[in-house]
Amino acid sequence: MFKLFEPNKIFKITSTAPKYVLFLFIIVLSIGLVEALVISPEDYKQSDAVRIMYVHVPAAWISLGIFSSITFFSICGFVFRNKNFFLISKSLASSGLVFNIVALVTGSIWGKPTWGTWWAWDARITSMLILALFYLMYLIVWRIYDKEEKVYKISTFVTILGIINVPIIKYSVDWWNTLHQPASINILSKSSIHSSMLYPLLLMTAAFALFSLLIFLMKYNTELIKIKNKGLDRL
Amino acid sequence: MYGRKVKLRFLFILVILITLIVTTFLILKSLRENVVYFQSPSEIKLLTEIDKSKIRIGGMVKKNSISINSNEVSFIISDFKNEINVTYSGALPNLFAEEKGVVAEGFLKDRNFFSATKILAKHDENYMPPEVKEALGEK
């Protein structure tokens, strides 16, 4: 089943792919930024402050997506006793934390002119802060324990604790009264965001996803090199 | 297909997940009052006793209800069922307008009067360029 994960094969991919991903990332990011900052119209109510959304929303999406993936891979690693899954999780985590912080900071910058406050302890914002703390916990676990077995178990447990928070973040705006507005983009019903604003948003999401992929590949490559250097430690 | 150990480990994770979900659900349910950021005028009407501590009330600013005299602003927050009168003196956020969402932080005088110490504008989920808004308005 895990033939796919033969170290030599993946190593070939992870060592050559980053340059192509970087190239693609730069292209998509430049188109996305031009679309978001220049071409897309200003909002009828918040005028140019809407442009913060093109960074804020993709960053939040990506950080949620990465945490879900970390949990998935950690659980796979735990269930199938496969070290490789844990290394994938580890390599993914840091860009997730960065995007989580980006989402919090840009949200704060947007909140001041629109809401009138930098920070509000409402359900969406607080749960997003908790997610950042879980990311931190996860990354710290990898640093404080020397025994790998221990790291695998504790980091899996942290992700399982943290994953409960992900649906809470998603539905916090529907379940409770929050200062944060509900989702504008719905898969099942009509979105309440105009298409001229939706396309730059999706482009920026693609750009951020490519960036995460790039960081992931580079980090994962490093992990594989570490294993190669140890020589004894097989996947 | 998989070994017994693998199945057991999977079951273990599943049980942990279910336990955590149920626990979180129960905690959040019992803490509902603290999780909500603001209360609606209807919820205020249902209060049995008026709390002297700081609370937040949210809803829509009623049309034609804003009046500004000297340095005091007064308006009505409505949730289309009940209303509450708010007085406030201080700076208003840019997005504060009639028929838009608002959250007022302050103290209740009684069930109908609220004196705010801070006003926050609540943005809704609609994003569109001004031309589209005008076109919608004409309909």
Residue B12 lies in a domain: yes
Task: State whether B24 and B53 are in the same domain.
Answer: no
Residue B61 lies in a domain: yes
Task: State whether B27 and B62 are in the same domain.
Answer: no
Pairing of strands B83-88, B113-122: parallel
CATH code of the domain in which B58 resides: 2.40.50.140
Write the pLDDT tens digit of every residue in A16-37: 899 999 999 999 999 999 988 8
Count CB-CB contacts under 10 A for residue A163.
21
Q: Among residues of chain B, what percentage have pLDDT more than 70?
A: 97
- Chain A residues within 8 A (CB-CB) of chain B? 41-46, 50, 53, 75, 78-81, 113-117, 120-123, 156-157, 160-161, 163-164, 168, 176-179, 181-184, 192-194, 196-197
Task: State whether B14 and B28 are in the same domain.
Answer: yes
Residue B59 lies in a domain: yes
Task: State whether B75 and B28 are in the same domain.
Answer: no
Task: State whether B62 and B99 are in the same domain.
Answer: yes
Q: How many domains does chain B have?
A: 2
Q: Is the ipTM of this complex over 0.90?
A: no
Task: State whether B50 and B114 are in the same domain.
Answer: yes
Task: State whether B15 and B77 are in the same domain.
Answer: no
* Interface-testing mutation among A79, A82, A134, A152, with chain B (most B C-beta atoms within 10 A): A79
Its pTM stands at 0.89
Task: State whether B76 and B89 are in the same domain.
Answer: yes
Task: State whether B15 and B57 are in the same domain.
Answer: no
Residue B132 lies in a domain: no
Structural domain boundaries enclosing B74: 37-122
Residue B96 lies in a domain: yes
* Interface-testing mutation among A169, A179, A189, with chain B (most B C-beta atoms within 10 A): A179
Q: Which residues contact A215 (CB under 8 A, 6 or more apart)?
A: A91, A94, A95
Write the pLDDT tens digit of every residue in B45-93: 887 777 778 888 888 888 888 888 878 888 898 888 888 889 888 888 8
Residue B27 lies in a domain: yes
Helices (H), chain B: 4-30, 32-35, 41-45, 130-138
Q: Which residues contact B114 (CB under 8 A, 6 or more apart)?
A: B57, B77, B84, B85, B86, B87, B104, B106, B107, B108
Question: How far A173 CA lies from chain B's nearest CA (Å)?
Answer: 10
Task: State whether B73 and B23 are in the same domain.
Answer: no
pLDDT digits (tens), chain A, 235 positions: 455 566 677 888 888 899 999 999 999 999 999 988 888 888 887 778 889 999 999 999 999 999 999 999 999 999 988 888 999 999 999 999 999 999 999 999 999 888 888 898 889 999 999 999 999 999 999 999 988 889 999 999 999 999 999 999 999 988 888 888 888 887 777 778 888 888 999 999 999 999 999 999 999 999 888 887 876 555 5
With cut-offs at 50, 70 and 90, classify the pLDDT of residue B136.
Answer: confident
Task: State whether B25 and B42 are in the same domain.
Answer: no
Task: State whether B85 and B98 are in the same domain.
Answer: yes
